[in-house]
Each structure stands twice: as structure tokens, then as C-alpha cells.
Amino acid sequence: MLQVKAGLVLHEAQSNTSADIRTKIDMNVLAKPADLEAAAPAGAFVEEVKSVQHYTDRLFRFRMTRPASFRFRSGEFVMIGLMIDGKPLYRAYSIASPAWDEELEFFSIKVPDGPLTSHLQKIQPGDAVLMKKKPTGTLVNDALIPGKRVYMFSTGTGIAPFASLIRDPDTYEKFDQVILTHTCREVSELKYGEDLVQETINDPLIGEFAKDKLVHYTSVTREDFPRQGRITDLIKSGKLFEDLGVPPLDPAVDRGMICGSMDMLKDTKALLEEAGLTEGANNKPAEFVVERAFVG
Ligand code: A2P
């Protein structure tokens, strides 16, 4: 008698739980990891958001748990998602944390009617995020041949893979100088990068390498700022090299990595090619690499 009753209670509790899950997913309410675990799509990890920081009405970052089995190279991207209307919806996100970090960090744009980011921007600590199991990408140190100086050219959220690479000791082992350029429309959009570089330089481990080698070069295009203009214009005019006190791009010593909008990638790539640098890939390392994988 008692057992039957206990069985019934258990059964009811189970069916309530799955009804809850279905209602939450259908209504696009953000789920908790334990809820989503039951409905998790195959091939995805269900991770828990640890912290969220909003920078502007267009930009935020979040950190989440990292599965013990998940390995990646600094600079790679992964598919991140949520259950929307009962189905997983993913977008490619560069991992902004370095390979050694025990959590995973992502830097995201907020698109008001974006299918994923309109929901993702509302996540809170404790919420669940889906992540596909296989990272990939070309913005990795292995895809560049050795050189003296590496330029990391970024606009907007394109800084994310470089947030990973500038916190990786391998980058400083490979290059004498690491120049991170970040151009945004507005001054407030530079904040993530400014905090990141400061934290990197102050970090007890990475700071030792970064403080002598890392240069942060910022510009803004749609507001007053000490340095204005697109990175492509700053390269073309030679102002970038004048400001840095370095010679113009030279394929013998300079390496490049590019991450931004499609137009920015195309225009920056053309300038590097004009300077004689050749595009590389994982299976064919060369003098510069380009990445398209971020939500823009
Ligand atoms: P601009 O304000 O002149 O368009 P977005 O948010 O559109 O991706 O832009 C981020 C930054 O990238 C902005 O400062 C923008 O400048 C700049 N940008 C946009 N297109 C290009 C391009 N083709 N080459 C270089 N920079 C670009």
C-alpha cells in the first residue's frame, strides 16, 4: 500500500517535471541546467551560467562552467545555443577565455530581434546554456608561421578570440610583440577590451609575459575619441605604424589575425595581401589568418 502510494507520488512528480520543462521551453523561459539536462539534444553539453556582465545596450559577456572533457585551442570557436520553441538554436561563438581557464567566457552582441541573442542577453547566473561538443577555428597560433610581431585586428565582438589568445602563454612564447587592435563605433564599446587588457597585465601568471609584449591599440569611428577611424584607414595612412613606432607591415617578421564583420575581414585581408602576407590555415600555416565565426 505504502509502496504503491510512493510509486504514484513519484510518477506524478515526474510527469509534472516534464510538463514544466515543456512549458518552459515552449514559452522560451530560460531553463536551469537540471531541467534542460532531461531535454538536452544529442551532442550538446548543458552548462551553467556563472556570471553575466552587461557593457552597453549592444554588448555583454558571460562566463559558464566548462565540461571536464572539453578541450580547445585558444582562439577557437564553438556553437552556443538555447532551446527556443522546443528546439535547440545555435550560433558560432569564439571562446574568449584561454585554454587553461576552468570556466568558459563568451562576449556577445545583443540583437533586439536576433533569434538567439534576443534570448541569450537575458541569461542570469544559474541558467543553462547548450554548447556543442566540438570546437574549431583558424585563429590559432598553430596556423601562423613563427614571426616577430603578431597583429590581432578586431572590430566589435571580434575581439573575443583575441581575449583568449592574449591570455595564453603560448602567444608570448611565439612572438616578441603582440598588438591587439580594437575598433568600435562608440567609446563605451571599448570597455570589455580595456578591462581585459588591464586584468591580463595585472594577472600574476600571464602578466609577466604580457606587460612587456602586449600593446592595446584602440580607435572609435562614430564618436569623439583621441584616436578615430577604421583600422583599415589607419593601416593605409600609416598612422598605425607611426603610433606604434614600428616599420610598416613586412611578411618577413609580421603576422596577422583578423576578426570582425564580413566587410572588415575582406578589407583588412586585402591590405595584408597588398603588403605581401599570405593567408594560412590549420593544415597550411602562413603569415595571416581570418575568422568569420562570431555573432555580428
Ligand atoms: P564604421 O563606424 O565606420 O562603420 P560593426 O558594429 O558595424 O561591425 O562595426 C564595428 C566597427 O568596425 C566600427 O568602428 C566600424 O566602422 C568598423 N568597420 C565596419 N566596416 C568596416 C570595414 N569594411 N573595414 C574596417 N572597419 C570597418
pLDDT per residue over 157-177, tens digit each? 999 999 999 999 999 999 999
Neighbours of 14 (CB within 10 A): 11
- Alpha carbon 292 to its chain centroid, in Å, reads 11
Average pLDDT over residues 189-203: 97
- pLDDT computed for residue 126 by the predictor: 96
Q: Is the pLDDT of residue 28 over 80?
A: no
Buried b (16+ CB within 10 A) or exposed e, 108-126: bbbeeeeebbebbbebeee
Q: Is 227 in the pocket of ligand 1 (CB under 6 A)?
A: no
- pLDDT computed for residue 9 by the predictor: 26
Ligand 1 centre to CA of 155 (Å) is 7
- Grade residue 40 by pLDDT with cuts at 50, 70 and 90: confident
Q: Is 183 in the pocket of ligand 1 (CB under 6 A)?
A: yes
Q: Is the pLDDT of residue 64 over 90?
A: yes
- pLDDT computed for residue 30 by the predictor: 67
Ligand 1 centre to CA of 127 (Å) is 33
Distances (CA, A) of 218 to 98, 132, 159, 221, 243: 22, 33, 11, 10, 11
Average pLDDT over residues 216-242: 98
- Grade residue 37 by pLDDT with cuts at 50, 70 and 90: confident
- pLDDT computed for residue 8 by the predictor: 26
Q: CA-CA distance, 56 to 8, in Å (whole number)?
A: 50
Choose one of 221, 225, 267 to mutate for the ligand 1 pocket test, by most ligand atoms within 8 angstroms of C-beta.
221
Q: Is 231 in the pocket of ligand 1 (CB under 6 A)?
A: yes
pLDDT in tens, 244-280: 999 999 999 999 999 999 999 999 999 999 999 999 9
Q: Is the pLDDT of residue 294 over 80?
A: no
- pLDDT computed for residue 142 by the predictor: 95
Q: CA-CA distance, 234 to 120, in Å (whole number)?
A: 34
pLDDT in tens, 75-109: 999 999 999 988 999 999 999 999 999 999 999 99
Average pLDDT over residues 168-189: 97
Ligand 1 centre to CA of 264 (Å) is 6
Ligand 1 centre to CA of 231 (Å) is 9
- Grade residue 34 by pLDDT with cuts at 50, 70 and 90: confident
* Whole-prediction pTM: 0.89
Share of the chain above pLDDT 70, in %: 88
Q: Is 228 in the pocket of ligand 1 (CB under 6 A)?
A: no
